Structure 1
Amino acid sequence: MVSQVNHADAVEKDGTSGDDAPATTPWREVALSDPEYQLILDQLGRVPTAVELGMFGAMW
């Protein structure tokens, strides 16, 4: 069973959290919405790599 990951956890794993969070998030840079990114996190069970995120953005 894969545990659910949310995008807030993903930001923290990238080294930023709270007020330190960047204005633009990596998933928005590849034209993914927050719900789409959450679905990716749920399916993978982890934070996607930059290459994976780019592929999801291109194919979604």
Structure 2
Amino acid sequence: MAVVRGEDVIASPGPDQTLRAGDVLVMLLAVCGPILTRFAPTRTTAPLPATVAGPASGPHDRRPQ
């Protein structure tokens, strides 16, 4: 995570740093595998895997095969 403040970049802001008006918060994430299927913009056209019941799925709400 980084905060861009004008021409300055705070590469690793600490807990004592606060965001100010005009700051830009930059976060880089890497997603792969089944998670990408669930959150990709094309998720409305691609069906979810049969074992995934919903956004908070767990062992208690898996569909039978």
Q: Which has the bigger relative contact order, CA under 8 A and spacing at least 6? A: 1
Larger Rg: 2
Which TM-score band (shorter chain)? under 0.3
Higher fraction of strand:
2
TM-score (norm 2): 0.21
Higher fraction of helix:
1
